[in-house]
Amino acid sequence: MVQGVNFRATAADHARRLGLTGRVWNRSDGAVECVAEGEGAALDRLREWLGHGPRLADVERVEATLDGAADALEANDWPRLQQYISEGAVRTRNRAFSALSAMKFTSAKISSLKIEINRLTSPPTADTHFIGAARFEAVNPERPPYVYRSYTAEFHVELQQEDDRWLVTDKVEYHELR
Q: Is 135 a catalytic residue?
A: no
Which of 6, 16, 17, 26 is an active site residue?
26
Q: Which of 69, 99, 93 is nearest to 81 (CA)?
A: 69
Beta partners for residue 34, in sequence order: 24
Task: Respond yes or no: is residue 45 known to be catalytic.
Answer: no
Q: Which residue, among 81, 75, 138, has the nearest Cα to 108 in the 3D structure? A: 75
Provide the residue type at 83 as one letter: Q
Look up residue 91 and give its amino acid.
R
CA neighbours within 13 Å on the CB side: how many for 41?
0
Q: Which residues are catalytic?
A: 8, 26
